[in-house]
Amino acid sequence: MKINYTTVNGKKIRLKKADLESTILVWLREELDLTGVKNGCGIGVCGSCTILIDNQPVRACRLKVEKAVSKEILTIEGLAKEDGSLHPLQQAFIDCGAVQCGFCTPGMILTAHAFLLKNSSPERKEVRKALAGNLCRCTGYQQIIDAVMEAAKHYQS
Amino acid sequence: MKKKAWRNDAYAKVTGIARYTDDLKVTGLLHGVPVYTDDIHSKIIAVDTAKAAKKPGVVAVITADDIPGAVKFGQINPDYPILAQEKICTSGDVIAVVVAKTRDQAVAAAEYVEIKTEKLPPVLDPEKALEKDSPVIHEQIGNNLVNYHCIRRGDLERGEKESDFIIEQEFETSRIEHSYLEPESALCFQRPDGVMEVYGSMQHPFSTRRFVASTLGVPLSGVEVRSVPMGGGFGGKDDTAAIVCARAALAAKVTGKPVKITYDREWSFRESYKRHPYRMKYRMGLKKSGRISFVECRLIADGGAYCSVTPWVTWRSTVQCCGPYSVPNVKCDTYGVYTNNIFCGAMRGFGSPQTCFSSEQLIEIAAEKLGISEIEMRRINMLKQNSETITGQRLDTHTVSLEQVLDRVMKEINYDKKRKECSFGKAKGDELYGIGLAMSYRGMSLGAEGIDFNSAIINVQNDGSILLEVAVHENGQGAETTMMKILAAELSIDLKRIRYRQPSTSNIPDGGTTVASRGTLMGGGAVVIAARKLKEKMAEVLAEDLQSQAEDIVFEKEMIYGTERKKMLTFDEGVKIMFNRQEYPYSFGVFQGPKVSWDEKTGKGNAYFTWVYGCQAVELKVNRKTGKITLLNMAAAHDVGKAVDFEMLKGQFFGGMAMGTGYGILEDWKEDSPPTNFHQYKIARSIDLPEMTAVVIENRDPLSPSGAKGIGEPTNELMAPAIANALYAATGKRFTKLPVKLEV
């Protein structure tokens, strides 16, 4: 029988057959206790459940685990260093006042991370567009865009 | 170098380790889900749970008959059934809670709960609901009136006689959904000492405790509500969130096991209360001099099926019905009405977004009638220092800064120049350009709506670290960090000494709800008073060591100085001496809101002990072929009293403007085809918004111990009318119905 694996935050994980049919959201939260991924709408619209698969933002509430087989999943828990020191993008979110209730924050940071990996010298308008699929009800997005612009320079090397 | 922002919960939130209610697990946890019906108004004949109870994993199917305490509860009128028993009054009514080993099992079993009902004619239109022959929703009340408020000021007849012109206009606002990103969630378990412990996504732990205690039939001391991070509230996580907690507690009581109820977005949309839609009729009298001679208005608020806080929401609308203007003669009648629509309650703004939408357009309609500019009209009529409000309150205890906020916004956005460039319906192409603004005054905190006090506990440890607790709730706005900063400033110590401890309902007195933009004002006031008491106590004990009179001792930059600074101690040394003398450096501070008053018959009184002033402006373009509105730029100025944290303040500005944009052009909860999720209900996305500028105005308020007032709600009441006014400048047409739409 073929054994399936996926990688989560750098760690290879062996998948049980039952895991494959689960949504990535439920699997991450229930099986791996990675609760940084949030369920805001359950239909892939609000972006709170955004994770990265091979550095592409996807909606964990809609996608089955089988779609992540042999791929690399990055969740918000995997962005900071092992010693707990923050990724520059996370630090920028704090420095720029981009965090309020925090429920959209993990998805927002991961979407921004994937975007900055592709475009490290963005215009504010481009950041706005990149974040269009992540809803935030607290911030009006202004300071989130500030944070992404602030962090961009760290992606330039 | 720009100053960096910081908040005590930011690290946990950017790393994903912050634990929200649904992230919590306990051993033996069961899961509950609500069961709805297809009815909106009917008599319940029978609820049959037998089939559902036999489904796999099901532990219990709980109905109203299982409730040991009161079936109905409410913040004002106890008319909300925790589980429906006799009647279905609206589509969000819950008839049962299915409890199972897994959430999926509970969801699967829920559809097997059977209900037999006898349909009753629905009451959907609030004006028809007030007619004599309308079916009545709550028979014990006898009609569909939730409440009535009025203002009778001056002499309306005289006002009419003195008017050179009279304008009349109707306005209509929409029902909208709070759209906090985290749906409701509750986790409850009975402790060995018999206390029901509650964790939940709510913004009012004390109200939650009342709902839970009432449902279980236990005293308040038998319920302990604990706070965990919560994903937004905006006024929406009071009643509904408390009700979800009450059901989870009930299920925990019935099953003897811990129970979690986490809502889907669909359930949250279906069941949670909304912002009241209003219908408003205004008549305004004008003199050639530009003065307003009278305002007559009738406001009808659709409260939906249950009372919730409709009497308080409509009271604020009544007090603020004329906007920030001096009006000598006023007749206002306001009605809160029961219908079978989804119920309405608190939402950021609390009755003011509706009246601001009217009054800030009315003032411009008046200006046009008089042939003067919309700014001149405002300047002539706006409330000034020592002015009297329409309820007879003299504004003489704080700085009345309407002119200041208006001037600052106009300057920031270059209003005068841009106003000349507006299209007013005339342009070569299809793109029309407009700029518009709106301004307001707003009574702070609860006012004569309720009892207004708050408390704080400062507990200095023997190593000099400090635990701070305040009876305010962290809804995402940064209340905890704000409290910490106020304490650090008052004691003149390093912020790093302070750790905020979220109090539970069992260890701090009920400080009321963290709504009404009262957290910083009331909680911050309590922190300052507690800090002053702490300093007094320490000064008394340390007087001998500092060879000073206690009253001469000052706390400054981590030091404690005696008379003329001859002797000094570090803060740590001072704390050590306290403990050695068997004196606790501990204090409890209470801030009692200054007296307010209200006469329900005449609508006279000092409605709020202080007021804030704000102005917001927006530039936009609109395509007259497609109707597409593109927002280009926004600016806001708000007088906050004193700024505690600029970055967090700006976050409130921007968030309020964004939500106001949704109210203005995007969001519309239609009762005949209610949206089920965010694909049908559109809140503002990043690409719907322009760049925004925040101008923080500071005029310390003498009645606020910290000098600070508040910011949450004033930011959310102005963007919709500003957009409507800008659209007028673009198209030459008035938009009096929300959300505003260009007919093409």
Q: What is the 3-state secondary structure (H, E, C) of B53-117?
A: HCCCCEEEEECHHHCCCCCEECCCCCCEECCCCCEECCCCCCCEEEEECCHHHHHHHHCCCEEEE
User: Across the interface, which of A39, A48, A109 has its CB nearest the CB of B14?
Assistant: A109
pLDDT digits (tens, 9 = 90+) for B600-614: 999 999 999 999 999
Identify all chain A residues contacting B12, using CB atoms and an 8 Å cutoff: 102
Instruction: Scan residues 16-35 of B and list those with Cβ closer than 8 Å to A.
Output: 16-20, 22-23
pLDDT at A94 exceeding the cut of 60: yes
Signed CA dihedral, B494, B499, B505, B508: sign only:
negative
Q: B477 and B648 in contact (C-beta within 8 Å)?
A: yes
User: Across the interface, which of A45, A94, A137 has its CB nearest the CB of B5?
Assistant: A94
- Other CB atoms closer than 10 Å to residue B150's CB: what's the count? 15
**What span, in angstroms and rounded, lies between the C-alpha atoms of B401 and B405?**
6
C-alpha distances in Å from residue B693, one per residue of A101, B422, B517, B646, B651: 21, 21, 21, 13, 11
User: Across the interface, which of B20, B477, B692 has its CB nearest the CB of A140?
Assistant: B692
Give the CA angle between residues B362, B697, B422 to the nearest 5°: 40
The complex scores an ipTM of: 0.99
Domain ranges in chain B are: 26-120+197-254, 278-447+599-731, 453-592
Q: B75 and B225 in contact (C-beta within 8 Å)?
A: no
Q: Which of B1, B4, B7, B15 to mutate to test the interface with A (most CBs of A within 10 A)?
A: B15
Q: B708 and B644 in contact (C-beta within 8 Å)?
A: yes
CB contact under 8 A, B5 and A38: no
3.10.20.30, 3.30.70.920, 3.40.640.10, 3.20.130.10: CATH of A4-78: 3.10.20.30
Query: Read out DSSP for B295-317?
Result: EEEEEEEEEETS-TTHHHHHHHH
What is the least distance, in Å, from the CA of A118 to any CA of chain B? Answer: 19
User: Across the interface, which of A36, A109, A124 has its CB nearest the CB of B17?
Assistant: A36
- Other CB atoms closer than 10 Å to residue A68's CB: what's the count? 27
Instruction: Scan residues 623-662 of B and list those with Cβ closer than 8 Å to A.
Output: 647-648, 650-651, 653-659
Identify all chain A residues contacting B201, using CB atoms and an 8 Å cutoff: none
Low-confidence residues of chain B: pLDDT under 70: 1-2
CB contact under 8 A, A140 and B475: no
CATH homologous superfamily, domain B26-120+197-254? Aldehyde oxidase/xanthine dehydrogenase, a/b hammerhead (3.90.1170.50)
Identify all chain B residues contacting A106, using CB atoms and an 8 Å cutoff: 16
The residue of chain B with its CA nearest to that of A37 is: B16
* Tokens matching residue B208: 């939650």
What top-level class would CATH report for the domain A88-155?
A: mainly alpha
Task: Report which of B714, B154, B10 is spatially closest to residue A109, judged by C-alpha positions.
Answer: B10
pLDDT for the residue B513:
84
* Tokens matching residue B29: 């946890």
**What span, in angstroms and rounded, lies between the C-alpha atoms of B723 and B629?**
10
**What span, in angstroms and rounded, lies between the C-alpha atoms of A105 and B24?**
19
CB contact under 8 A, A97 and B650: yes
Phi first, then psi: give them for residue B683, nearest 5 degrees: -100, 165
Domain B453-592 has CATH 3.90.1150.200: no
Task: Report which of B473, B471, B474, B469 is spatially closest to residue B484, judged by C-alpha positions.
Answer: B469
Task: Report which of B63, B276, B67 is spatially closest to residue B172, judged by C-alpha positions.
Answer: B276
What is the least distance, in Å, from the CA of B341 to any CA of chain A? Answer: 23
**What span, in angstroms and rounded, lies between the C-alpha atoms of B385 and B395?**
6
C-alpha distances in Å from residue B533, one per residue of B458, B530, B539: 10, 5, 10
CB contact under 8 A, A141 and B689: yes
The percent of chain B in helix, strand and coil, each rounded to the nearest 5, is 30, 25, 45
Assess whether the region B26-120+197-254 and the region B453-592 belong to the same CATH fold.
no
Phi first, then psi: give them for residue B117, nearest 5 degrees: -135, 165
What is the least distance, in Å, from the CA of A90 to any CA of chain B? Answer: 6
**What span, in angstroms and rounded, lies between the C-alpha atoms of B70 and B593?**
32
pLDDT for the residue B2:
65
**What span, in angstroms and rounded, lies between the C-alpha atoms of B99 and B107?**
9
* Tokens matching residue B75: 């913040």
Q: Which of B181, B267, B654, B689 to mutate to test the interface with A (most CBs of A within 10 A)?
A: B181
Count of residues making up chain B:
744
CB contact under 8 A, A140 and B655: yes
Could you tell me the pLDDT band of residue A132, with boundaries at 50, 70 and 90? very high
**What span, in angstroms and rounded, lies between the C-alpha atoms of B665 and B409?**
22
CB contact under 8 A, B657 and A48: no
Q: What is the DSSP letter of B329?
A: S
CB contact under 8 A, A128 and B686: yes
**What span, in angstroms and rounded, lies between the C-alpha atoms of B385 and B396?**
6
* Tokens matching residue B508: 């701090």
Domain ranges in chain A are: 4-78, 88-155
Identify all chain B residues contacting A40, using CB atoms and an 8 Å cutoff: 181-183, 231, 265, 678
Identify all chain A residues contacting B687, using CB atoms and an 8 Å cutoff: 128-129, 132
What is the least distance, in Å, from the CA of A43 to any CA of chain B? Answer: 8
Domain B278-447+599-731 has CATH 3.40.47.10: no
Contacts 24+ apart (CB under 8 A), B541-547: B541/B577, B541/B578, B541/B581, B541/B583, B542/B569, B542/B574, B542/B577, B542/B578, B545/B569, B545/B577
